[in-house]
Amino acid sequence: MTGTGPLTARRLAVPPKPRRPRALIVGWAIAAVVVAAHVVAWDTTEISAAALVEGWRGMADFLAEAIPPDFSADVLRDSASAALVTLWIGLLGTTLSIPATLVFALLAARNTAPTAWAYQAARALLSFLRAVPDVVFALIFVTAVGLGPFPGVLALVCHNVGVMGKLWAESLEDADPGPSQALRSAGAGRIQVAAHALLPTVTPQLVGLLLYRFDVNVRSSLVLGLVGAGGIGFLINQSIQLFQFDQMLTHILVVLVLIVAVDQLSAYVRRHLGSTP
């Protein structure tokens, strides 16, 4: 019986990590483009730290005139009433957009669109409504129906259909295809599949997105008031024009209370939906 002796393990050299000069060049090129874009943006927007430092006296005078806020009964009553108008504008701008949003979301989702041209047309319309700011819609409707909350509601409805339609369409496309395929195999039509399989599956996501848009629309309705669409934004603009900065600060504090209340309500509803089996 012959032995071969103890076995020894031979170390193999670790091959060097392959270099990717092309990827490295592309990375440096992207970094250079980003830096150049920031340099151009900095110069175009005329950002100046010196101007901000030199303007401290004007900001100090502004704050001195705004503090303390005017908490008189008349100002608080007008501010609270206008804040409720702002809330109603955001509420109606959200809820009145639901029917059109649902229709365009079904047309703009690949798994529910009846034809390719309907899908492309719905996507194009949603992109247009989303691209036009709600302030621009408000200015258009103010010239059409006059000043007040009504043009603000119309502006939010138009813009919200574009934003929420895209979000709902993406939720429909990401839905579990199992229930829909089961109904199709049983002979169900497109509308039946959407009504009995697809929409029930994504309803929590759709409601969550709706609540998110409600939060955004309440804030947007404040800005719309600055262009004549009513609400507390109109009072803030009026206070600034009349140099009543103490009343302006009161209106801003009331807005803060309103936004916190809406956030808490939305969070409560989302938690309730999340705990519902």
Report the pLDDT value the prediction gives residue 37, as an integer from 0 to 100.
92
Residue 89 and residue 229 in contact, taking contact as beta carbons nearer than 8 Å? yes
- pLDDT for residue 275: 47
Q: For residues 86 and 203, which has the higher predicted lDDT (pLDDT)?
A: 86
Q: Would 154 be classed as within a structural domain?
A: yes
Q: Which of 7-16, 99-108, 226-235 has the highest mean pLDDT?
A: 99-108
End-to-end CA distance of the chain: 74
Q: Is residue 104 part of a domain?
A: yes
Q: How many helices (H) and strands (E) does the chain have?
A: 13, 0
Given a cut of 80, whether residue 214 has pLDDT beyond it is yes
In a domain, 113, yes or no: yes
214 within 8 A of 94, measured Cβ to Cβ: yes
Residue-wise pLDDT for 26-80, tens only, equals 788 888 999 999 999 988 887 877 777 777 777 777 777 778 777 888 888 888 8
pLDDT at 144: 85
For residues 239-263, give the mean pLDDT. 86
Nearest partner of 76 among 272, 246, 266, 269, judged by Cα: 246
- For 10-14, what is the mean pLDDT? 62
Q: For residues 235 and 169, is the Cβ–Cβ distance under 8 A?
A: no
Domain CATH code at residue 75? 1.10.3720.10
38 occurs within a structural domain: no
Cis ω for the linkage preceding 68 (within 30 of 0): yes
| pLDDT tens digits along 117-152 | 888 898 999 999 989 888 888 888 888 888 888 888
Query: What pTM, to 2 d.p., does this model score?
Result: 0.74
Residue 96, pLDDT score: 92
Q: Of 12-26, 91-105, 246-260, where does mean pLDDT reach its minimum?
A: 12-26
Using CA atoms, how far apart are residues 26 and 219, in angstroms rounded to an integer? 41
pLDDT of amino acid 35: 92
Helices 232-241, 245-275: axis angle to 10 degrees equals 160
| Residue 47 is assigned to a structural domain of this protein | no
Between residues 156 and 69, the one the model is more confident about: 156
**Once rounded to an integer, what is the mean pLDDT over residues 80-103?**
90
Look up residue 194 and give its DSSP letter: I
With respect to residue 35, please indicate whether it lies within any of the assigned structural domains. Answer: no
User: And the tokens for 116?
Assistant: 């390719």
The mean pLDDT of 221-239, rounded to a whole number, is 82
Segment 76-94 mean pLDDT: 89
Query: Does a structural domain hold residue 12?
Result: no
Q: What's the structural domain count of the chain? A: 1
Instruction: Examine the pLDDT at 7 and tell me if it is beyond 60.
Output: no
Q: How far apart (Å, rounded) are the C-alpha atoms in residues 51 and 47?
A: 8
Confidence of residue 197 (pLDDT cuts 50, 70, 90): low
pLDDT exceeds 70 at position 215:
yes
Range of the domain at 233: 71-275
- More confident site: 178 or 245: 245
Contact 59, 126 (CB under 8 A): no
Residue 16 is assigned to a structural domain of this protein? no
| More confident position, 8 or 243 | 243
Share the mean pLDDT of the chain. Answer: 80
Q: What's the pLDDT score for residue 28?
A: 85
